[in-house]
Structure 1
């Protein structure tokens, strides 16, 4: 059985020391590592993240969000999103589709077929035919007859006007149309005889949006009176709805969000400010339609109009009383003449809805109280801010491009679905500005993320480039390794390396020679540490402090530290053999390694930051390094490190010690080398030393000396064997006290 196996068995039987308090350590170029002891005055340390990078990114992200909110709101204020708002408004209707109406409105079309059947002459429809139609509808039980026809001039035959006026009067349910304003003419109203018999009149002016689409009507137009007052003229749809509900022409504007039509004792209609957004139920086909000629001739089912609102209006192409609505907007049909006239008419706009059906849609909206209310300006702003905050939380994170794009896609979908659901509930949310906010934020986040990545890469390179290997730095830059600079407790392995007798060596050298020697030495040693994923913490005079397991996490950090130590010794041998500096050929180093829990992170103060480790495990590694001089070794390990090494490395137990500043014993091991490089004679020497150590602890001095002589025969310069031979001879001459426990206690560093 080789010495390494025996050493591990003894190591596993050692009593671990209790978790010590953490102490800060400091050093300067003029002093070597000097860990603080309990009770020493210690500088205050704190942890800190790379705030210069993340802080700048977060501040820029907040500023970008604020600027984008302001920019989007200004664009909304100046109408830059109006066209998109209208497109989305129409799209909501297309997605929702048609809905059934209440079936209380019937449309009578004065169409081309009726004109042919009734012999309509150029200039207008016969007023006798109109009187016949009104009589037939009234006898059939129509509740309201609304004429979307302007009778602004007398007929050629006054008798015809008299007959129609008497019919309107006798029906007592006719609402006439007027035009509130015509350029150069003012208002256009029915002739006085007709006004005397009507039960109401409303203006048929229909306001179009900037894209030529009809989406709303005005409830009122103000008409100045001779006494200076203003008369509120109702819209045609509002007047028809009022007369159908038999409400007084009385309004209450005391409410902030709506006004009411009708007297308080009546079942009032509640109407929104300021205009009526027509909640279209589809195109004109959703209503029951009759031919004007059939109505004039009495060829219709009376049940079709009984108790209903019957609206009469022209659909002649020459009248040009057609309007584009959300259901007919962008609707095209294939022309039957496309093969002849090619692209010039291959896509022609389908017939728009007649103005009559548009008024009917408005009446249906009013009577059903099925209003579309736009979100108030302050509510839209609040929603924009909420969307911006959510976008800020989702996009301005360090998650990369793809997660941000997926988040943006999800948020866009949520906004679109929510706006569609809100529209179906009667609330118009102007989604384009929200969508613009999301897209602007995702664009800004991509730009800022590139800025952050560049700043982070520059910071990683500057922060770690000098004491981490190039491969590790590249992994950190690419993000393959999660970098956490916050202070935390972590199990690491600490390595100290020191030049033996450097002070004596440097006494006969100039400052330039010392600098040259150390630069050459460090240039050779630092890559050995980095090659095994070690982090060079600091250079302390002629000493090197490094640790393994951070910032790159590793579960094998004791093995990496041991391999780095052997690499350093081999590199030093090569350096001594090839150096042109005489003192460099005389260099000997000692290395101490310990594993344990430390505090690791970006430590320091505002003026200086350093990614480093502090703790009792660091102090012990420094003490162990100094014991190489005592035992004549090059690499000493603690049991916390040795027990985690695999069988490719050979270690031997050297002693159990209590270093200064500790009260519990630590088992020391020497790292001998790689098993593949150990000779038979070295293995035999290790076995003899392990046996000698057992005899020593049993106070069998002659047996221990005999084994030690065997070791020195095989390896004449073996440091631990030489030390124990001296100890055995001293203890043989002066036996120890009965309570002797074979533990060596050191009272100095």
Structure 2
């Protein structure tokens, strides 16, 4: 009956799934197939029954309570929990069937039968096949499956989407995010951002009256000037049409000419004066810096002036001026920056109505200034510090104003800043646009006014936003860096694109993205991914080299490494067609009895090398070479469309070498006793590695091997026996003669066999 069923199943497997007879697809027929798969004596019949089931059952669209029947689903589940090829076939069928009954049977085995590991393994395979698991699977098992899935992918590195590379990119980004949050590398971070700042044309509303070297040469030390001189300057500027006059030095002491200066201020009505801060800044207020004290102008000047503003400047860690406090607090009293007060006055607004920071914005003159938590604004410099031949803002000498030689167009309807630019004075600072040359404090005030007036604000994203950018970059680099060279090119391209994007965003919107940590994240992600890939490849290469050590050529070993790395080859065990070459040494036992063990070992090594060389010459894989027998396979581990031809060629090469060797040896040479017999058989077998850890070996099991083992005893010395499939596949080039079909043990039908003869074997046949 099993013989008949085997033939029926063989016919069914040749039919397309869509044209199967209706009787075959009934529940009763499917249950009969399950009976055969679980209880048939012949393993080929069990295999074919499962293959027919897989052929008949399409992939279910969703999980269903019962797939075939409760008993059938249960038996398939129990079969899946066993070991071996048929268990893997059953798992694949359950993944397509999506039966909740079968999954429940596996869960019962997990809880009751003490087979937790096997149950979890089967559930993981079903999950991979079906893409999901049914509701009965508890969260604890789902969590374990997810953890196992992640672990597998962290230990592997496929060419496409790789969880391990994504995790590495994420880790690199998290490391950089922590460093960003903790303020590491603040100096290079700020300096690299400075490259985004390019000069722009100022609006022309600011003119600087400078107390320069010529003015000091004319009037002496500026702090010893009579204040009547400043009164005269105010009068000259008012006459020229200056709309706002702002001094960058404070009149703190009392002098004889204070009344004259106060009258000039009062008459002008548009003079803004500074106050100086004392001590360090305290960052204990929101939207404002606090100072312990300050130096104000004389009370009569405060009363006569149009407003009062601070000129506090804070350095970054590298000594550069990038930020300007908008508000400060002294003894509970708040003061705006001098530039802001001057601009309020220029626009006709009151200078006493202080703005308050709301949602990171400070409103002034209809403009929303972005500020940080301390109320500091990032200065958008219009250009570099002034030079003798050129300057970003118009600059005229204090002396020239008093002399009346300054063109009225430079002063009329302008904000006029009066400050010191003399060489020996200390009011000079390095800025992002300094190029090594310091910028005077009055120029910094001019840049602040210009930035607010033209609404060229620098917006610095918050730390959380910057961290998100780092995470995206880290994940992106981890995703695309699949190979070292192409990965480097792609990582560099990502960095270049990010730099161009940052430059465009800054020019278009004033958003200043960080450059340092993104570049560092890209570099670290690439380095870590490359190091990881190298470690994985070394481990994978070592495993495969150990697996095939001495069994294949170096080129085949390398190709196998590449195929496994690209996911094109699975060495864990799969059934496939291949050709088996079995070579048996005759005369070995007699030789071993009459010779020294050392001579026996030398003889074995000599003939084994010849056999291995012949197999490797045709790119075969040596499976075993022990005592007097060697087995090799073709079409594994790498596919070879002409595997039967290669196997026969290897046998004929050995056949020829042995004949030549015997001709060359003396008639009484001890090796004349040694003869070889060959079998080449083509069929299906399971290939993969077997063993534990480093002791794993590449193994072939199945019908093709079993038949070759049975035929080798029937081969005569020097004879090559071919199985029926091998003969058919090589009939065009190999001259073989049919022999009488052989009756072999454990086989119902006689086995057709063919022979490639030699002179030795023909003599024996006669």
TM-score (norm 1): 0.67
Offset of 1:115 from its aligned partner?
3.5
Cα distance in 1 for partners of 2:172, 2:412 equals 58
Residue aligning to 1:739: none
Residue aligning to 2:266: 169
Structure 1 SS opposite 2:335: strand
The answer (yes or no) to whether the contact 2:588–2:628 under 8 Å persists in 1 is no
Equivalent position to 1:44, from 63, 84, 97: 84
Structure 2 SS opposite 1:427: coil
The answer (yes or no) to whether the contact 2:202–2:450 under 8 Å persists in 1 is yes
Offset of 1:635 from its aligned partner?
2.9
Work out whether 1:389 is the aligned partner of 2:475.
yes
Alpha carbons of 1:631 and 1:316: their partners in 2 closer, same or farther (altered >3 Å)? closer
Work out whether 1:260 is the aligned partner of 2:363.
yes
Structure 1 SS opposite 2:471: helix
Cα distance in 2 for partners of 1:237, 1:220 equals 11
Work out whether 1:321 is the aligned partner of 2:427.
yes
Work out whether 1:272 is the aligned partner of 2:371.
yes
Residue aligning to 2:278: 181
Residue aligning to 1:494: 579
Equivalent position to 1:550, from 625, 632, 636: 636
Residue aligning to 2:19: none
Equivalent position to 1:107, from 197, 201, 208: 208
Equivalent position to 1:301, from 379, 383, 407: 407
Offset of 1:297 from its aligned partner?
2.9
The answer (yes or no) to whether the contact 2:173–2:473 under 8 Å persists in 1 is no
Cα distance in 1 for partners of 2:620, 2:498 equals 50
Alpha carbons of 1:295 and 1:585: their partners in 2 closer, same or farther (altered >3 Å)? same
Offset of 1:640 from its aligned partner?
6.1
Equivalent position to 1:412, from 486, 495, 511: 495
Offset of 1:279 from its aligned partner?
0.4
Residue aligning to 1:747: none
Offset of 1:185 from its aligned partner?
9.9
Offset of 1:195 from its aligned partner?
0.8
Residue aligning to 1:435: 519
Query: Larger radius of gyration, structure 1 or 2?
Result: 1
Give the count of matched residue pairs. Answer: 607
Q: Which deviations, in whole Å up to 9, do the C-alpha atoms of 1:208-241 show, x marking residues without a partner?
A: 11222111111111111xxxxx221111122222
Q: Which deviations, in whole Å up to 9, do the C-alpha atoms of 1:499-555 show, x marking residues without a partner?
A: 59999999x99xx99x98999876653443233211134579976543223334545
Alignment of 1:6-405 (within 5 A): 36-39=43-46, 44-45=84-85, 55-56=154-155, 65=169, 68-93=172-197, 96=198, 98-117=199-218, 119-121=219-221, 123-155=223-255, 158=256, 160-181=257-278, 186-224=293-331, 230-248=332-350, 249-250=352-353, 253=356, 255-261=358-364, 267=366, 269-273=368-372, 274-283=375-384, 284=386, 285-330=391-436, 350=437, 352-395=438-481, 397=482, 399=483, 401-405=484-488
The answer (yes or no) to whether the contact 2:581–2:647 under 8 Å persists in 1 is no
Work out whether 1:426 is the aligned partner of 2:518.
no
The answer (yes or no) to whether the contact 1:592–1:625 under 8 Å persists in 2 is no
Alpha carbons of 1:141 and 1:135: their partners in 2 closer, same or farther (altered >3 Å)? same
Q: Which deviations, in whole Å up to 9, do the C-alpha atoms of 1:553-608 show, x marking residues without a partner?
A: 545433321221113334566898899999994766341233x7877655899999
Offset of 1:72 from its aligned partner?
3.1
Alpha carbons of 1:100 and 1:36: their partners in 2 closer, same or farther (altered >3 Å)? same
Residue aligning to 1:688: none
Cα distance in 1 for partners of 2:276, 2:667 equals 108
Alignment of 1:326-725 (within 5 A): 326-330=432-436, 350=437, 352-395=438-481, 397=482, 399=483, 401-424=484-507, 425-469=509-553, 472-473=556-557, 484-486=568-570, 493-497=578-582, 499=584, 525-537=611-623, 544-570=630-656, 585=673, 589-594=677-682, 611=698, 618=704, 622=708, 625=711, 634-636=720-722, 638=724, 643=729, 650-652=734-736, 654=738, 670-671=755-756, 717=763
Q: Which deviations, in whole Å up to 9, do the C-alpha atoms of 1:318-375 show, x marking residues without a partner?
A: 3222221111133xxxxxxxxxxxxxxxxxxx4x222111101011112222211222
Kindly indicate whether structure 1 or structure 2 has the higher relative contact order, using CA contacts under 8 Å at least 6 residues apart.
1
Residues 307-316 or 491-500, more deviating: 491-500
Alpha carbons of 1:672 and 1:492: their partners in 2 closer, same or farther (altered >3 Å)? farther
Structure 2 SS opposite 1:286: coil
The answer (yes or no) to whether the contact 1:483–1:552 under 8 Å persists in 2 is no
Alpha carbons of 1:125 and 1:422: their partners in 2 closer, same or farther (altered >3 Å)? farther
Structure 1: which 5+ runs fail to align? 1-15, 22-33, 225-229, 331-349, 674-681, 683-713, 723-749
Structure 1 SS opposite 2:202: coil
> Whose helix fraction is larger, Structure 1's or Structure 2's?
2
Structure 1 SS opposite 2:735: strand
Offset of 1:201 from its aligned partner?
1.0
Alpha carbons of 1:373 and 1:623: their partners in 2 closer, same or farther (altered >3 Å)? same
Structure 2 SS opposite 1:369: coil
TM-score (norm 2): 0.66
Cα distance in 2 for partners of 1:462, 1:53 equals 21
The answer (yes or no) to whether the contact 2:551–2:623 under 8 Å persists in 1 is yes
The answer (yes or no) to whether the contact 2:578–2:685 under 8 Å persists in 1 is no
The answer (yes or no) to whether the contact 1:148–1:312 under 8 Å persists in 2 is yes
The answer (yes or no) to whether the contact 1:151–1:190 under 8 Å persists in 2 is yes
Cα distance in 2 for partners of 1:139, 1:281 equals 29
Structure 2: which 5+ runs fail to align? 1-9, 16-40, 48-78, 90-124, 126-149, 158-162, 281-290
Cα distance in 2 for partners of 1:215, 1:418 equals 22
Structure 2 SS opposite 1:651: coil
Alignment root-mean-square deviation, CA:
5.0
Alpha carbons of 1:76 and 1:441: their partners in 2 closer, same or farther (altered >3 Å)? same
Cα distance in 1 for partners of 2:680, 2:574 equals 22
Structure 2 SS opposite 1:562: helix
Offset of 1:165 from its aligned partner?
0.9
